[in-house]
Amino acid sequence: MRKLSNDELNRLDVDDFKKVQKNPVVVVLDNIRSLNNIGSVFRTADAFLVEAVYLCGITACPPHRDIHKTALGATESVHWEYFETTEEALNRLRKNAYNLVAVEQADESRKLHQFFYDADQKYAFVFGNEVKGVQNSVIQEVDTVLEIPQFGTKHSLNISVSAGIILWDYLFKISNL
């Protein structure tokens, strides 16, 4: 066994990435404070051909060197938009027939392994602030709350880790990888 070279990976360049059909998914960042987390989400969005990243509230926007440090250029390939409030972003998504899904621990959340997606639907996944999580006002606006089961002493995962788990789960379940 050997590691593949970059040439063997057949990666898209930025121009080709912008032209290729994306997965019908939008990632919504609800007041994310860490620039490194924002950059990491961009990189994950690129890896999974996400349609767009919506940056809301205090979430910083590119260009910024600390976002770029973890995004590694994904802010150039992934479409993104800024919204003053997360509710504003959700209103646009709802008008465009997206299923709105918050990733959070809530009294009526659905466990990730028990949730299945409709491959004919579009999804928007909302990820919340590193300390406060998804705002309660936002949770009231979504169609579903998904929870990633956890078993240790900590009650949360890093937002960029959560985004990777959710996006991989979505693609795995709709495409039967």
Q: Give a yes or no: residue 120 inside a domain.
A: yes
Q: Give a yes or no: residue 10 inside a domain.
A: no
Q: Give a yes or no: residue 96 inside a domain.
A: yes
CB atoms within 10 A of CB 9: 7
The single-letter code of the amino acid at 63 is P
Q: Give a yes or no: residue 4 inside a domain.
A: no
Q: Domains in the chain: how many in total?
A: 1
Which structural domain range is residue 141 located in? 21-175
Q: Phi/psi at 36 (nearest 5 deg)?
A: -65, -40
Residues with Cβ within 8 Å of 74's Cβ and at least 6 positions away in sequence, in order, are: 39, 42, 43, 45, 46
Residue 57: per-residue pLDDT = 98
As a 3-state breakdown, the chain gives helix, strand, coil percent values, each rounded to 5, of 40, 25, 40
Calculate the alpha carbon distances from 132 to 75, 94, 102, 148 in Å. 25, 24, 13, 17
Contact 106, 142 (CB under 8 A): no
CATH number for 80: 3.40.1280.10
Q: Give a yes or no: residue 9 inside a domain.
A: no
In a structure prediction context, what are the per-residue pLDDT tens digits for the chain, which is 177 residues long? 999 998 899 899 999 999 999 999 999 999 999 999 999 999 999 999 999 999 999 999 999 999 999 999 999 999 999 999 999 999 999 999 999 999 999 999 999 999 999 999 999 999 999 999 999 999 999 999 999 999 999 989 999 999 999 999 999 999 876
Residue 177: per-residue pLDDT = 60
Type and span of the H or E element at 161: helix 159-175
Contact 44, 163 (CB under 8 A): yes
Residue 146: per-residue pLDDT = 98
Residue 113: per-residue pLDDT = 97
Q: Give a yes or no: residue 15 inside a domain.
A: no
Contact 67, 35 (CB under 8 A): yes
